């Protein structure tokens, strides 16, 4: 019976030590780089992994999740010029759902892919103008709705940020133009 108790004690001790070794691989550290940048957060196998904060000497800052030394997961990036991104990251790029706010007060809320606005999204400008619809390579492309606070409204196709294709334009006085648009101009029905 004593041999069996000794064996179980040894087995439990080994399991405890193994778990401690696994946990010891992730540490909380402060890393300072020659550029003056600083990282405070979780480190695993010598790389930023887990939650952490990276601060650049110019004041730029990222707070969020890291994977293999890259921003990856949920995070917030702020720049001293007023730019702010809150959302998903993949391999150090804006990727997934997010919100980008610019220094002039304009804002994009929607999908990102490879550091660009891509997918469904909403642009809101400081003057109150708004675009809701498809976005590709950072600009309206596909179907969408653009409205201006003065009452002007366009619903239809966009190409490279311009009204282009079938659409409906409603003017401030209520008149409606339906038909084909090219580079923001009505060309006919």
Q: What is the token pair recorded at 37?
A: 């940048």
**CA dist., res. 79 & res. 59, Å (int):** 7
Is the pTM for the entire model greater than 0.85?
no
Q: Report in angstroms the alpha-carbon separations of 43 from 32, 63, 138, 150, 177.
A: 13, 14, 34, 53, 60
Per-residue model confidence as pLDDT tens for the chain (189 residues): 565 555 555 555 455 545 444 454 889 999 999 999 999 999 999 999 999 999 999 999 999 999 999 999 999 999 999 999 999 999 999 999 999 999 999 999 999 999 999 999 999 999 999 999 999 999 999 999 999 999 999 999 999 999 999 999 999 999 999 999 999 999 988
Nearest Cα to Cα of residue 119 among 138, 136, 139, 143: 136
The 10 Å Cβ neighbour count of residue 65 is: 20
């Amino acid at each position: 019976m004593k041999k069996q108790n000794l064996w179980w004690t040894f087995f439990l001790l080994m399991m405890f030590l193994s778990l401690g070794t696994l946990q010891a691989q992730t540490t909380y550290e402060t890393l300072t780089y020659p550029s003056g940048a600083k990282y405070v957060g979780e480190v695993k196998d010598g790389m930023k992994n887990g939650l952490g904060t990276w601060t650049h000497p110019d004041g730029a800052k990222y707070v969020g999740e890291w994977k293999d030394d890259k921003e990856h997961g949920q995070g917030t990036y702020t720049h001293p010029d007023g730019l702010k991104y809150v959302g998903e990251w993949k391999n150090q790029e804006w990727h997934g759902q997010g919100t980008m706010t610019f220094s002039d007060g304009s804002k994009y809320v929607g999908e990102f892919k490879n550091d660009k606005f891509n997918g469904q999204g909403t642009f809101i400008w400081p003057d109150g103008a708004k675009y809701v619809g498809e976005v590709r390579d950072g600009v309206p492309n596909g179907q969408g709705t653009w409205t201006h606070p003065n009452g002007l409204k366009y619903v239809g196709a966009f190409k490279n940020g311009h009204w282009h294709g079938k659409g409906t334009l409603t003017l401030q006085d209520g008149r409606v133009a339906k038909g084909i648009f090219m580079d923001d101009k009505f060309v006919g029905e």
